[in-house]
């Protein structure tokens, strides 16, 4: 493998480029020749990209219509902050007292955005709750938000995901609410099944908590479960990665998302880098190859991928799915051919024009600023939506 298997494709969304070629009806060989010439992509990464794009095409054909949109709801609270995190995630002990104000602001945003989408006769496609950790809210708080969403965005949602990334936050009451309101995809994220690493990265749960949470989601009969793993966590090696992947596979999730550690500037890691030792490039590649081989030996296939700045080993984050279990929202969000309306803290809206150029609009990551700025965000959203729709 070369040092830079992705060549000059340093952006986060390498599949977008191949989709543009596929729109012109190009075949595998010609697409590779062109992308290799322009971007020096390796044959191995091109083959992976091709596989991903083939899985995405039918879903993009269905979702890339100007009257469709997806909703992202950002809940910017977590029990504690993970070492590598750069997401909007206030620890509950720090700013949990603002939960009620946050929910009031979010309800205002949901109602006003719902009026706007109904006025423009737009149809919701998927709904995704992320953050943060949505299950850091009480079940009754989550229910209030979901009821508001169902009222504001009536219609059939093709997919409804809630991240319950921290298993120590998920309760039977949360699951009852999810079941009642049609949640059909839940994320339970171990990152690693090794207790020492969990302690090191600041997550206050055990590998056993993951197993209990998985059993509870299965018993609630939610169709699809995703599990996230991270390759290259400080102190980890191939043996530990192998053990984590083995334990995750034994739980038979429909989706596995394999991330690679990246040094994010806004993370706790960046402030105390000298205290942690990260694996070298060869070790990262070995761990990644081991994990991907184990996953793809089962029935999982890669269905979306993205890259990050400063990702270890110059690798990629990949979502794997069992056949027919691909996450529609993830594809729509990464390939940027479908409007996303981001509601809540640190959420990004994407307004797509017919030529697939886009305008992003992000709400503040800091929950205090988000609460203050909701009226301004609503004005900007209306303007951008009108502009995008005027092109259709």
Judge contact between 77 and 133, C-beta under 8 A: yes
Least spacing, CB of residue 137 vs ligand SF4, in Å? 13
The rounded distance, in Å, linking the Cα atoms of 68 and 126 is 9
Residue 85 engages ligand SF4 in binding (rule: CB under 6 A): yes
User: What are φ and ψ of residue 279, in 5° steps?
Assistant: -65, 150
Residue 190 engages ligand SF4 in binding (rule: CB under 6 A): no
Residue 132 engages ligand SF4 in binding (rule: CB under 6 A): yes
Note the Cα 154 to chain centre separation in Å: 24
Q: Give the interface segment with ligand SF4, choosing from 34-42, 84-92, 151-159, 254-262 (CB under 6 A).
A: 84-92
Judge contact between 301 and 321, C-beta under 8 A: yes
Nearest to 181 by CA among 218, 144, 215: 144
Q: Give the interface segment with ligand SF4, choosing from 44-52, 78-86, 281-289, 294-302 (CB under 6 A).
A: 78-86
Question: Binder to ligand SF4 among 41, 48, 53, 82 (CB under 6 A)?
Answer: 82
78 vs 260 by CB, closer to ligand SF4:
78
195 vs 376 by CB, closer to ligand SF4:
195
The rounded distance, in Å, linking the Cα atoms of 151 and 154 is 6
Least spacing, CB of residue 261 vs ligand SF4, in Å? 12
Size of the site for ligand SF4 (CB under 6 A): 11
Site for ligand SF4 in 136-165 (CB under 6 A): 165
Least spacing, CB of residue 49 vs ligand SF4, in Å? 26
The rounded distance, in Å, linking the Cα atoms of 195 and 198 is 5
19 vs 203 by CB, closer to ligand SF4:
203
292 Cβ partners below 8 Å, 6+ apart?
Answer: 258, 318
Per-residue contact string for residues 102-131; x = within reach of ligand SF4 by CB under 6 A: -----------------------------x
DSSP string spanning 199-258? HHTT----HHHHHHHHHHHHHTT-SEEEEEEEET-TT--HHHHHHHHHHHHHT--SEEEE
List residues near ligand SF4 by CB under 6 A: 78, 81-82, 85, 87, 89, 131-133, 165-166
């Amino acid at each position: 493998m070369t040092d830079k298997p992705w060549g000059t494709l340093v952006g986060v969304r390498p599949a977008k480029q191949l989709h543009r070629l596929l729109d012109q009806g190009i075949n595998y060989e010609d697409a590779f020749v062109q992308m290799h010439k322009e971007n020096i992509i390796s044959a191995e990464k091109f083959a992976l990209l091709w596989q991903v794009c083939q899985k995405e095409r039918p879903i993009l054909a269905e979702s890339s219509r100007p009257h469709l949109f997806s909703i992202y709801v950002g809940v910017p609270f977590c029990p504690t902050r993970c070492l590598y995190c750069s997401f909007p995630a206030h620890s509950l002990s720090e700013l949990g007292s603002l939960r009620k104000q946050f929910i009031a602001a979010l309800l205002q945003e949901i109602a006003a955005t719902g009026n706007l989408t109904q006025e423009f006769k737009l149809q919701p496609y998927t709904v995704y709750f992320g953050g943060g950790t949505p299950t850091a809210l009480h079940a009754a708080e989550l229910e209030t938000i979901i009821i508001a969403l169902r009222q504001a965005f009536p219609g059939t949602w093709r997919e409804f995901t809630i991240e319950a990334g921290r298993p120590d936050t998920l309760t039977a009451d949360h699951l009852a609410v999810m079941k009642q309101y049609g949640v059909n995809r839940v994320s339970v994220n171990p990152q690693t099944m090794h207790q020492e690493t969990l302690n090191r990265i600041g997550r206050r749960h055990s590998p056993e908590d993951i197993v209990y949470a998985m059993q509870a989601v299965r018993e609630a009969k939610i169709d699809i479960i995703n599990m996230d793993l991270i390759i290259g966590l400080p102190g980890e090696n191939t043996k530990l990665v192998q053990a984590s992947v083995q334990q995750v596979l034994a739980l038979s999730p429909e989706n596995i998302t394999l991330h690679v550690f990246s040094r994010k500037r806004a993370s706790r890691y960046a402030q105390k880098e000298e205290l942690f030792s990260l694996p070298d490039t060869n070790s990262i590649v070995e761990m990644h190859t081991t994990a991907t081989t184990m996953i793809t030996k089962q029935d999982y296939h890669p269905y979306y991928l993205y890259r990050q700045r400063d990702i270890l080993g110059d690798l990629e984050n990949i979502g794997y799915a069992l056949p027919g279990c691909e996450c529609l929202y993830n594809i729509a969000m990464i390939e940027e051919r479908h409007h996303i309306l981001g509601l809540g803290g640190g959420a990004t809206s994407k307004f797509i024009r017919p030529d697939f150029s886009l305008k992003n609009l992000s709400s503040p990551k800091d929950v205090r600023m988000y609460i203050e700025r909701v009226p301004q965000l609503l004005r900007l959203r209306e303007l951008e939506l009108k502009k995008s729709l005027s092109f259709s």
